[in-house]
Amino acid sequence: MRLLTTLLLSIAATQTTFADALTDYQWIGSHNSYKQGLPASVYQFLAKNDPHAANQINYGHGDLEAQLDSGLRQLEIDVVNDPTGNQYDKPELATRLGENWLSSESQRELARPGFKVLHIPHVDVQSHCTDFAACLNKLKRWSEAHADHFPVVVLINAKENQPSFIKSPAPAPFTAATYDQLNEVIRTALKERVITPDDIRGDFSTLREAVLKRGWPDADSLRGKFIFVFDGNVEQNARFMENHTGLKGRVMFASLPANDDGAAFMIINDPFTQHTEISQRVAEGFLVRTRADADFSASNEEKAAQKMAAFTSGAQMISTDFYPGSPQAKRDGHVVSFADGALRRKNPVSQ
């Protein structure tokens, strides 16, 4: 019996624990995590008229599973609404350039109705998973194989526009009903693995009250879970919350003003000009995401300065295209990580 007890204590001692509140950690995530590299022909086409715009989308990532395996615990996925199908299976720019960018499998997925995952319709379309439900199933399988993982935050953007030089039909809008459908796709794919606004609200009257008075749960209690956050503009948020005041019944959180009843998570992307605001929201108990880099034309010194501003702001999630091993980090010689290459640490501001 004594030997068994000693063995159990030894196992417990070697297992990583996340006993602090989720807000008391700081971790690195990726920006537009699904995105593959830009074809050289597209870069050249765009650079003729707007070199800066071409540079801004000249990046890519490994697949979602590889990013999670590396230790990233915040992802970002862009979704377009394609209710009838066949809107994105033949990218217009590829046709103009006489090229075929898509695999047969991707073309079949894009031809079917449903939510599609791509960066810029008809221009920057190569993704590691072109069907949103397929992306979610990748996350589910990875989570099942790593059941005790630190919670993963997934940002969702609804894409509703495309470049003016594209003549194909504009993306279908997201209505309140569309967001209901998106809600159910996430719920169906991940079920109990998703932490929802209702879970965090609990017995409090509003989500904001729950976060300010009780706080976010300890990270240990969120092992193996996903937190989805809708990253919309004011008009999109209004449609997203239609019939769901305070995010009641929604699977996703949303980036909302601090005085909103649904406030729990905020996306504040500029750690230079918004440094004080980020630190204030973190001190109040909100989760905050910011960016360590956004301008690909910036020098490595300028990128490093933004990285440090993000680190010292206290934002819990820091998105980057330059995490260790990313194609951009290898290409440009700039890396975003904590000491010794770590991708997660205790938050130096909220402690």
Report pLDDT digits (tens) over 142-189: 999 999 999 999 999 999 999 999 999 999 999 999 999 999 999 999
User: Which pLDDT score, from 0 to 100, does residue 192 have?
Assistant: 96
What share of the chain has pLDDT > 90, as a percent?
Answer: 93
171, 267 Cβ separation under 8 angstroms? no
Q: Is residue 315 part of a domain?
A: yes
Given a cut of 90, is residue 2 above it in pLDDT? Answer: no
Q: What is the pLDDT of residues 91-115, one digit of tens each?
A: 999 999 999 999 999 999 999 999 9
Q: What is the DSSP letter of 296?
A: T
Q: Is 337 a member of any domain?
A: yes
Asked if residue 2 is part of any domain, the answer here is: no
Nearest CA to 121 among 63, 84, 163? Answer: 163
Is there a domain that residue 213 lies in? yes
Give domain status of residue 29, yes or no. Answer: yes
112-138 b/e with 16+ CB inside 10 Å = b? eebbbbbbbbbbbbbbbbbbbbbbbeb
In the prediction, which pLDDT does 186 show?
A: 99
- In order of 100, 119, 304, the CA distances from 60 in angstroms are 18, 11, 20
**Structure token pair of residue 233:** 């503009």
Decide: 328 and 321 in contact? Cβ < 8 Å: yes
- Number of domains, the chain: 1
**Residue 27 pairs with which residues in a beta bridge?**
317, 344
- At 13 the pLDDT is 38
User: Is residue 205 assigned to a domain?
Assistant: yes
For the domain that residue 28 is a member of, what is the CATH number? Answer: 3.20.20.190
Q: Name residue 154's amino acid.
A: V
For residue 228, the enclosing domain spans 22-346
- The stretch 183-206 carries a mean pLDDT of 98
Determine, yes or no, domain membership for 308. yes
Mean pLDDT of the chain, nearest integer: 94
Sign of CA pseudo-dihedral 308, 314, 318, 324: positive
Coil, strand or helix at 114:
strand
4 in a structural domain:
no
